[in-house]
Amino acid sequence: MYVSRDLEKRIKSALKSFPVVAVTGPRQTGKSTMLKKILGAEYNYITFDDPLIRERAIDDPLLFLSTAGEKVIIDEIQYVPQILSYIKIKVDENRTVKGRFVITGSQQFNLIKNLNETLAGRIALFKLLPFGYNEIRYADTLKTGIIKPEDYFTHAALNGMFPELWVNKTIDAKLWFASYLQTYLERDIRTLYNLGNLRDFTRFIRLLAANCSQILNLSSYAGNIGVSVATVKSWLSILEAGNMIYILEPYYKNQGKRIIKSPKVYWTDTGLVSYLTGIYNKEHLFNGPMAGALFENLVVQETVKSFYNKGAIPEIYYLRTSNSVEVDLIIEHENRLYPYEIKLTKTPKLSMAKHLSRLQKLFPGLNFQKGTIVSLSDESYQLTSDVEVKSFYDFIASLEDVIG
C-alpha cells in the first residue's frame, strides 16, 4: 500500500524549473519509495547503498554519470559526496534540461553545505520526515479506529509515524525501532563520522530522548556522560543534520525583557522517543512522567512537517522569560506572531491561558495574534476573550492558514 506524500506536488513543480532536485531526511521516511512512485519508469534508479555501484562511481564518476541514463534518481548520495562536482559538470553541459538528476540523502552533516556550494542556482532542496497527520487521515489504514485525538497521540507515541510501521500493522514496533537504531548507528553514524566511543554516543541519544521538549543543558549532558561540552555539541549537530531531532530556538528579538536564550530539543518521531525511554504501552504513556513532553513533541513535530511539506523553512520559536512567562510555540508569518500553549488535557482550564493573555502587555511592540491552547479536547472553543482552545486536529488544519 502506498500513501501519497504532501511533498509530491512541490517536487514535481521543482523538476520543471531545476536541473537537480534533492530530498533529504532520516532513513526509512519513504524518500526512495515516493520518488520511484511519482517519477516511474522515466527515471533510472541507482542506490549507493550497493557497494559495487558505489565503487564504480568513485573510480570513474564521469563514466558512471554518462551511463546512468538521461534522467536518474541517485539514492544515498552521502556515501559518494565527491560525485556532486561531476553532476555540476553534466548540468552545465546543457542548463536547459530540467529535472535531470534527483538525489537523496539520509545524512546531511556536510551534504547540504556541499549541495549549496557545488550546485548553487541549479538545485531545489526538500526534506521528508515520517508521516504527518495530513498524509494519513484519508488512508485506508485510518479505518483501524485512529480517529480521536488521544488515539492518534497514542499511536504516534507508541508506534511512531515511519511509513513501514504505519502501513504494516503486524510489525512489532519495539523490534523495528531496535533494528532502526542499530542500522542508524552502524551504517550512518559509524561509517560517516569519527564519533569516538559509540557507547557514549548511544547513552547521549537516550539522555536526549528523556529530555525531549526541554531546554538544552549541554554542560549537564557532558557531566552525566563524562565527555566534554564540545563533544556533546558535535553529537547534537550530527543528530540535527540527520533530521533525527529539531532544535527550537527561542524568540528573543525584543532584547529588553530578559528572555532565556537557550534552545529546546524535539525529536522528529515521537515513537522513537518512547522506544529510547522504555515506554511501550498506553498506561505507561499517559500515567508516566513524560506524557506532557511527548504530546508537546508531537505538536511541534507536526508543525515542522507542515513547513517542510511546503518546501519552506520553519519559522517557529518558543518564548520563556526570567520571570517564568512561557509560551511553548510561536509561529512567525508575515510579521504576525501566533502563540500556542500545548497541554495534554481534554478539558483546558482558565489558568492555562494566563501566559498567553500576558503577551500583549509584556511585548506591546510585537504583533502577537490571539493565543491558542492546543489540547486533546474533542472540540475547539473560545476560552477567554483573547485565548481559544483548539483540538489537535483543528490545530493541524489551521496550520494551512497560519503558514500560508
pLDDT band at 238 (very low <50, low <70, confident <90, very high): confident
pLDDT value at residue 124: 93
Q: Cβ distance 55 to 160 under 8 Å?
A: no
Given a cut of 70, whether residue 110 has pLDDT beyond it is: no
Q: Mapping DSSP to helix (H, G, I), strand (E, B) and coil, where does residue 94 land?
A: coil
> Average pLDDT for residues 362-387, to the nearest whole number?
92
> Average pLDDT for residues 244-266, to the nearest whole number?
83
What CA–CA distances, in Å, run from 324 to 67, 112, 354, 355?
A: 62, 37, 11, 9
Average pLDDT of the chain to the nearest whole number: 90
Question: What homologous superfamily is domain 8-127 in, according to CATH?
Answer: P-loop containing nucleotide triphosphate hydrolases (3.40.50.300)
Given a cut of 60, whether residue 109 has pLDDT beyond it is: no
Of the chain, the percentage scoring pLDDT greater than 90 comes to 70
- Indicate the angle between helix axes 270-277 and 173-183, nearest 10 degrees: 90
pLDDT value at residue 47: 96
Q: Mapping DSSP to helix (H, G, I), strand (E, B) and coil, where does residue 36 land?
A: helix
What is the distance between the alpha carbons of residues 141 and 353, in angstroms, rounded to a whole number?
36
- Whether this model's pTM surpasses 0.75: yes
What is the distance between the alpha carbons of residues 175 and 196, in angstroms, rounded to a whole number?
27
Question: What are the domain boundaries of the chain?
Answer: 8-127, 133-248+265-289
List alpha helices for 119-228, DSSP H: 133-136, 149-159, 163-167, 173-183, 190-192, 198-210, 218-225
Least confident of 29-33, 318-322, 395-399: 318-322
pLDDT value at residue 181: 92
pLDDT band at 144 (very low <50, low <70, confident <90, very high): low
Name the strand (E) or helix (H) holding 331: strand 326-333
What is the distance between the alpha carbons of residues 329 and 177, in angstroms, rounded to a whole number?
28
Given a cut of 90, whether residue 56 has pLDDT beyond it is: yes
pLDDT in tens, 313-371: 999 999 988 777 899 999 999 889 999 999 999 999 999 999 999 887 888 888 999 99
What is the distance between the alpha carbons of residues 316 and 310, in angstroms, rounded to a whole number?
15
198 vs 318, which has greater pLDDT? 318
Question: Which residue type does 176 have?
Answer: W
pLDDT value at residue 105: 86
> Average pLDDT for residues 241-251, to the nearest whole number?
92
What CA–CA distances, in Å, run from 170 to 131, 140, 159, 167, 397?
A: 18, 15, 11, 9, 30
User: 17: Cβ–Cβ under 8 A, 6 or more apart, which residues?
Assistant: 98, 124
pLDDT value at residue 299: 98
> Average pLDDT for residues 369-395, to the nearest whole number?
94
On the CB side of 57, CA atoms within 13 Å amount to: 25
pLDDT value at residue 309: 94
> Average pLDDT for residues 163-185, to the nearest whole number?
91
> Average pLDDT for residues 6-29, to the nearest whole number?
95
What CA–CA distances, in Å, run from 256 to 328, 355, 363, 366?
A: 20, 18, 10, 13
pLDDT value at residue 223: 96
380 vs 184, which has greater pLDDT? 380
pLDDT band at 244 (very low <50, low <70, confident <90, very high): very high
pLDDT value at residue 145: 52
What is the distance between the alpha carbons of residues 110 and 403, in angstroms, rounded to a whole number?
29
pLDDT value at residue 149: 84
pLDDT value at residue 261: 82
pLDDT value at residue 323: 76
User: 286: Cβ–Cβ under 8 A, 6 or more apart, which residues?
Assistant: none
Name the strand (E) or helix (H) holding 287: helix 282-287
Given a cut of 80, whether residue 404 has pLDDT beyond it is: no
